[in-house]
Every structure is written in structure tokens, then in C-alpha cells.
């Protein structure tokens, strides 16, 4: 393993760890026991990457390299050892989640490109890696998934990170330093969106099928002439 591969592995494991920490913190906030924390940590840490690897028809990193499974276990033990000293869990959940989202948006897109995916697929795979684990974590914990929240941006920062990664690869400048810069920008984007409550455009947030259906029922039938 050369230096570039070692740095990339360290970056990917860091993303796994911080995402796992967000899952364990959520479990602690919900009053789950240590096994519940481990489950949420595993889902958050390796869930998105496993979905990505299955779609790319490659052996998931979590199965091919056992250290990916050890990382959520370590995160679980760490949080439950120092849990009583952690205050304001919500801000830490959001922060660790944002770090994981930023890192995985870069590593997910990079792995997809290395597997021969085209740029559009790599963009999607980066966002899937970044959001998939958090989506499963929130769904299992009966939380409103952050990706569906209308109060701040989640998917867009992930697409921002994977998009910059794809652009950097197209320009031939993608390397470890550039990957770290992109991850930092994606993290800053996500935290600013959360802090400042940036939202998608108003019409998108107010749209609902039920309201649309109610309005459509008031319209005359297209097969009947109005009176």
C-alpha cells in the first residue's frame, strides 16, 4: 500500500468513525442500550458504503477489510465510556454527521470513479455514500431523516462534495490534498446550512400530494363541458 492509498484509507475510516459516533450519540440521546448504539453506529458508519459497493458490483469494504467493522465498535465503546460527560448531544450529532457526510461524499465518488463509473454515476454514488448511512440510522431510530428535512440542507452539501470531486478528477487534479479541501468545503456548507437554516425554495417545501389532490378535485372533469 502506497502513501496515497494509506491516506485515502485513513480518510475513509475517519468518515466511518465519525458517522458511527453520530449513530451512537443518537442512540444515547434516545435512551437505547449499548447494543442499540452499536446497531445505529454500524448503520451510520458502513450502511451507505455497503449500498454503494453492492451497486458497483464490488466486495463491500466492510466485508473485505474487517477494520471497517472494528471502527463502529470502537466508537460505541468510546461513547458509552464517556457518555455521561457528553452534554448538548444534538450539536455533536449534527457535527459528527456533517464530518461524515463531507468525507463520504468525496471518498464515495472517488471509489466509484476508481471502479470505472462514469461521472454521473460517481456523482450519485458519492451522495449515496454520504446520505445512505444517516438515512438508515434515522429510520431505525424513528427519527425524521435529515435528508427529508425541510428546515435545512442535507443532500445538496453531499452533492456539492461529490460534484467537486468529479470536477477535480475531470481536470486531473484529484489527489489527497484536493480531497481534503473538498471535504472541508462540504463540511462548511453543511454546517452553515444547519446553523443558518438554509432551505430549499418555498414552493418545494409547501408542495404536498394531499393538497394537490384536494385542489384537483375542485376542477371540472376534462370529459364534461362546464355548465
Domain ranges of the chain: 3-196
pLDDT computed for residue 171 by the predictor? 96
* Model confidence at 125: pLDDT above 50: yes
pLDDT band at 223 (very low <50, low <70, confident <90, very high): very low
Q: What is the pTM of this model?
A: 0.82
Lowest mean pLDDT among 13-17, 106-110, 140-144, 146-150: 146-150
User: What average pLDDT does the structure give for the chain?
Assistant: 85
Report yes or no: 117 and 36 within 8 Å, Cβ to Cβ.
no
**Residues 56, 112 contacting (CB under 8 angstroms):** yes
Q: How confident is the model at residue 173 (pLDDT cuts 50, 70, 90)?
A: very high
Q: Which residue has the higher pLDDT, 62 or 87?
A: 62
Q: Give the Cα separation of 105 and 10 in Å (integer).
A: 15
220: pLDDT confidence band, cut at 50, 70 and 90?
A: low
More confident residue, 18 or 84: 18
Amino acid at each position: 500500500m502506497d502513501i496515497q492509498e494509506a491516506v485515502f484509507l485513513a480518510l475513509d475510516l475517519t468518515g466511518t468513525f465519525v458517522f458511527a459516533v453520530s449513530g451512537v450519540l443518537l442512540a444515547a440521546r434516545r435512551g437505547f442500550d449499548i447494543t442499540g448504539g452499536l446497531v445505529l453506529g454500524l448503520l451510520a458508519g458502513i450502511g451507505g458504503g455497503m449500498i454503494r459497493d453492492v451497486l458497483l458490483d464490488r466486495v463491500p469494504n466492510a466485508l473485505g477489510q474487517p477494520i471497517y467493522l472494528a471502527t463502529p465498535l470502537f466508537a460505541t465503546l468510546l461513547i458509552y465510556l464517556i457518555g455521561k460527560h457528553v452534554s448538548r448531544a444534538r450539536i455533536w450529532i449534527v457535527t459528527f454527521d456533517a464530518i461524515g457526510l463531507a468525507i463520504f461524499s468525496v471518498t464515495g465518488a472517488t471509489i466509484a470513479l476508481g471502479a470505472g463509473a462514469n461521472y454521473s454515476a460517481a456523482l450519485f454514488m458519492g451522495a449515496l455514500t454520504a446520505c445512505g448511512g444517516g438515512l438508515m440510522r434515522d429510520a431505525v431510530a424513528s427519527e425524521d431523516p435529515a435528508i427529508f428535512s425541510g428546515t435545512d440542507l442535507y443532500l445538496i452539501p453531499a452533492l456539492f462534495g461529490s460534484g467537486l470531486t468529479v470536477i477535480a478528477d475531470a481536470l486531473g487534479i484529484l489527489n489527497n490534498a484536493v480531497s481534503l479541501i473538498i471535504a472541508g468545503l462540504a463540511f462548511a456548507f453543511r454546517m452553515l446550512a444547519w446553523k443558518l437554516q438554509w432551505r430549499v425554495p418555498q414552493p418545494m417545501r409547501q408542495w404536498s400530494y394531499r393538497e394537490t389532490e384536494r385542489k384537483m378535485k375542485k376542477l371540472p372533469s376534462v370529459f364534461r363541458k362546464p355548465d
